[in-house]
Amino acid sequence: MTSIEIAGSDALGYRARLTLPVLVVAYGLVAALVSPAIYFDMLADYAQQFAVLPPLVLLGLAAVALVRHRHAPHAYLRRVATSRALPLAVTAGLVCVGLAAFTTFKILIPHVVPFWADPLFAGIDRALHGTDPGLIVHALLPDWAGHAIGVLYGPVWFLAWFGTMAAMALHPDAVLRQRYFWAMGLTVLLLGTVLATLLASFGPIFFDDLAGSSRFDALLLQIAESPVGAYMAEASGYLLASYGAERPSLGTGISAMPSMHLAIGTLHALLLGRLNRWAGLLGWGYVALLLVGSVYLGWHYAIDGYVSIAAVSLIWWVTGRRLERRPAGMSAAY
């Protein structure tokens, strides 16, 4: 364990470091009590998916060892194995518990608060942009951009999310590590569960199916004729089938406001900016692409992304105020 990690741990305090894991477990317990069948199905599914993480983490560590510690890669790997292996395993377990709870509550949203906010958000979008933002980006972007958007919004986003969580679980700066995971936990709870339930909405892609309205037919036609048309038909059909049959599956649940893609992307941009200014600019560029992609694909209203960016920025500021008051002379390791 490095001196920085020890100092960071002392600065946080033992009780403070235990608070977040306890709250994650409590979040999972509430979900299990509310809907045990859905929760334990989701927990088993996520645990199965997480089984592929150890070899991916090892590959990532090997790459870091060869690039940044090429003079003593074995010593670096031994140091990580002895100081961070157990915390990484605990983090993976807590993420499983939290994601299973998040998905459970997301699936239950229309049973708690019927979808009501879509006409409001569609109207706000049109008032802000003069028309539906999805139509604007389809008119501006060439056809080939659809392929890039599909990849950046889908697999790249998932790899970035889980890869960043694994990297932060191994990060030597205990205070920054705690700030990231506190911000992540608050984002999932406050935005992904509380706000998503209060502002229950399904997004433009489901307007015809769930509202019986032709309001977004022009956008749906653009999506169908785009390079991602077949993928979007399959992905939206998967969610609709699960919703209609009340059959929970991995990654299901319908919710538009706020956008969790934008929320997680914003958190990572803020984290990257904390580590390196140029990395932060790259992160914010990716946030801009996610915002464009969210309306191009029809998953979200633009206002969903705006709310997510503002809310996560506030969460990051608050967690920084609470956690990054370091003792004099204490520096972060990047």
Residues 333/205, Cβ–Cβ less than 8 Å: no
Residues 96/42, Cβ–Cβ less than 8 Å: no
Tell me the HSE value of 2 on the side-chain side, using a 13 A CA sphere.
18
Please report whether residue 233 resides in a domain: yes
Please report whether residue 48 resides in a domain: yes
User: Whole-structure pTM over 0.85, yes or no?
Assistant: yes
- Host domain of residue 21: 3-323
Q: Give the dihedral sign, CA 104/105/109/112.
A: positive
User: 14-34 and 36-50 are packed helices; what angle lies between their axes, rounded to 10 degrees?
Assistant: 120
Classify 81 as helix, strand or coil: helix
Number of structural domains (the chain) is: 1
Give the whole-angstrom CA distance, residue 9 versus residue 84.
Answer: 14
Please report whether residue 331 resides in a domain: no
Please report whether residue 106 resides in a domain: yes
Provide the b/e sequence for 195-206 (b: ≥16 CB within 10 Å): bbbebbbbbbbb
Please report whether residue 61 resides in a domain: yes
What residues contact residue 309 under an 8 Å CB cut-off, 6+ apart?
262, 266, 287, 291
Q: Which of 317, 92, 35 is nearest to 187 (CA)?
A: 317
Q: How remote is the C-alpha of 191 from its chain's centroid? A: 11
Classify 122 as helix, strand or coil: helix
Q: Give the dihedral sign, CA 98/103/106/110.
A: negative
| Token pair listed for 73 | 């890669």
Please report whether residue 332 resides in a domain: no
Q: Which of 325, 196, 185 is nearest to 267 (CA)?
A: 185
Please report whether residue 328 resides in a domain: no
What residues contact residue 244 under an 8 Å CB cut-off, 6+ apart?
none
Give the whole-angstrom CA distance, residue 237 versus residue 72.
Answer: 51
pLDDT tens for the chain, 334 residues long, are 333 333 344 445 667 678 999 999 999 999 999 999 999 999 999 988 877 766 766 666 677 667 666 777 777 667 776 767 788 888 889 999 999 999 999 999 999 999 999 999 999 999 999 999 999 999 999 999 999 999 999 999 998 998 899 888 888 888 999 999 999 999 999 999 999 999 999 999 999 999 989 999 999 999 999 999 999 999 999 999 999 877 777 788 999 999 999 999 999 999 999 999 999 999 999 999 999 999 999 999 999 999 999 999 999 999 999 887 654 444 333 3
- If one counts every other C-beta atom within 10 angstroms of the C-beta of residue 241, the result is 12
In this prediction, residue 5 carries a pLDDT of 39
From residue 107, give the alpha-carbon distance in Å to each of 136, 243, 289, 310.
31, 8, 27, 25
In this prediction, residue 17 carries a pLDDT of 77
Q: Which of 281, 261, 257 is nearest to 269 (CA)?
A: 281
Please report whether residue 329 resides in a domain: no
